[in-house]
Every structure is written in C-alpha cells, then in structure tokens.
C-alpha cells in the first residue's frame, strides 16, 4: 500500500497514530505545510521503503525510533526546519539507497556509523550546520554516486581515502572550512568523469597532475592556487580570484579576475573561449596569436 499526498496544502502536525499503517510501503507527504515534530510512533511503519517529508515545516530532531525502519531505501527530509544532531543509530538503516537531509539546521558531527550504510547511492547533508571533520566511515561507502556535504561548517583536511569512492559522479564539499592540499587520490582518477566543485573557504595550495583526470568541471572559488598544466579539462572556473601567471582557461567564466599577464604556451592553443560574466559581451571568442 502506498500513500501519495504531496503538494496538497496539508497543514498541522503528523498524527501520532501514523504508526498504525504497518503495511504502508511508500509515504509521500512532500511539499505541504506539515508542522511540528516527527512522532516517535513512526517506528510502527515497519514495512516502509520510502519516506518523503521534504519541503514542509517540520521541527525538532530525527527521532531515534525512525532508525528502526530497517526496510527504508529512501529517506528524504530536505527543506524543513529539523535540528539537533544526526542520530548515531542512523547506521541501522542498512537498506538505504538515498539519504537526503539537506536544507535543515542539523548541527554537530556526522556520525561515523554512516559506514554501515553500504548500499547508499546518494548522501546529501548539504546546507546544514554540521561541524567537525568528515568521518572516515564515509570513505567506505563504495557505491556512492552523489556525495554532497557543501555549505556546512566542516573542517580539517579531506580524508585521503575518499579516493576509494570510484563511482562518484558528483562530489561537492564547497562552503566549508576544509584546509590543506588536495589529496593524491584526485590525481589517479581517470575512468570516471567527476564534477568536483572544491570551493574551500580557506584552501590555498598546489594542485598537481590534474591533467590525469577526466573531469567535466573543476571550480576554484575565492582561492589561491598553483597548478600544473591541464590537458583534459573541458571547463575551468577561476572567478573571484586574483589569478596571475597561469590562466589556462577553456570555456571559463573569469569575472572579477585580474592581472592576467602571462599564459603558458603549452595550453595557449587549447583555449576556445573566454567568458566574462560581468561583461555585456558574454561569450566572446578569444583569438590567440
């Protein structure tokens, strides 16, 4: 049995007797105005595989009782006002394929128990108030395709074992306080095309051998970097920088960049187009000598 009531202007709290729907497989109440806390009685939905409560007005913590729903494959609670720490028991949801908790007010660290979510394909914890370092357990989720931890207060270096996530198609760690050089794992990725917007708020370092990667897009936003020649890049963004000496750009928006004085000859003939997003002449072709 499935119950789809999304986008119906429903309001008020979830009923406490919701747990009596023990044969329910899917519950979608997204895009309503449901308020209040998630009742602990939700643990009664023992057959539930999909829980969509996104884009509501829910508040409070994720109840520990929710982590007893061992059949859940999709948990979507994004765009609410949920707060508090993520439950350490979240690792009990071992059937999860999608865990989407973005755009809430969760705080504290990411529990390392996420390492038990071995089937996970999507992990989106972006736009919260999470802090601490990225736990090593995330690096054990070898089936991850999308990992979004952006716009939190995470700090420390990116764990080097994140290179084990070879199926990643999207990795977004922007809007945090990550520091240090990029780990070696990004120099060996050649089979998968991965978009890595690494807009680290305090990152300043030397990026080497990125030409070995088959990246679709690599963004450095408000950063100070040195890097070796890029030969496989389709797009490269250096906006909001004071880039000098090595503006090796292909289809790159370079708004507010300054002091482009020299250009490496080995990549000069690869430049296709400069795009200045602050200019009315956006999309001008660069004619190289």
Q: Walk me through the domains of the chain, giving residue ranges and CATH numbers.
A: 2-243 (3.80.10.10), 244-289 (no CATH)
What is the predicted pLDDT for the residue at 227? 47
Handedness of CA 93, 67, 47, 147 (dihedral sign): negative
What is the predicted pLDDT for the residue at 186? 52
Q: Let me know how long the chain is.
A: 289
What is the predicted pLDDT for the residue at 203? 41
CA 173 to chain centre: 6
37 close to 16: Cβ distance less than 8 angstroms:
no
What is the predicted pLDDT for the residue at 161? 82
Q: Shortest CA distance to 126 belongs to which of 27, 199, 67, 30?
A: 199
What is the predicted pLDDT for the residue at 281? 36
What is the predicted pLDDT for the residue at 201? 39
Low-confidence ranges of the chain (pLDDT < 50): 190-228, 238-240, 242-263, 266-289
Global pTM reads: 0.72
Distance CA 220, CA 117 (A): 31
Q: Which residues pair with 50 in a beta bridge?
A: 26, 74
What is the predicted pLDDT for the residue at 184? 60
180 close to 202: Cβ distance less than 8 angstroms:
no
């Amino acid at each position: 049995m499935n119950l789809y009531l999304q986008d119906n202007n429903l309001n008020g709290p979830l009923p406490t007797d919701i747990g009596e729907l023990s044969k329910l497989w899917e519950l979608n109440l997204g895009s309503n105005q449901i308020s209040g806390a998630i009742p602990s009685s939700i643990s009664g939905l023992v057959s539930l595989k999909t829980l969509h409560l996104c884009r509501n007005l829910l508040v409070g913590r994720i109840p520990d009782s929710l982590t007893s729903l061992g059949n859940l494959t999709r948990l979507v609670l994004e765009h609410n006002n949920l707060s508090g720490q993520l439950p350490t028991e979240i690792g009990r949801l071992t059937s999860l394929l999608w865990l989407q908790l973005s755009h809430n007010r969760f705080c504290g660290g990411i529990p390392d128990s996420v390492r038990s979510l071995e089937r996970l394909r999507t992990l989106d914890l972006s736009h919260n108030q999470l802090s601490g370092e990225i736990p090593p357990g995330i690096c054990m989720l070898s089936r991850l395709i999308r990992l979004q931890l952006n716009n939190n207060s995470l700090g420390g270096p990116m764990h080097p074992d994140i290179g084990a996530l070879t199926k990643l198609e999207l990795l977004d760690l922007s809007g945090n306080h990550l520091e240090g050089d990029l780990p070696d794992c990004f120099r060996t990725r050649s089979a998968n095309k991965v978009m890595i917007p690494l807009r680290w708020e305090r990152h300043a370092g030397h990026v080497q051998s990125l030409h070995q990667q088959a990246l679709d897009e690599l963004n450095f936003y408000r950063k100070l970097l040195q890097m070796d020649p890029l030969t496989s890049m389709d797009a490269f963004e250096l906006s909001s920088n004071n880039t000098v000496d090595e503006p090796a750009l292909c289809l790159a928006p370079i708004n507010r960049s300054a002091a482009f004085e020299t250009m490496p000859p080995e990549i000069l003939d690869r430049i296709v187009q400069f795009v200045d997003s602050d200019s009315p002449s956006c999309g001008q072709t660069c004619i190289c000598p």
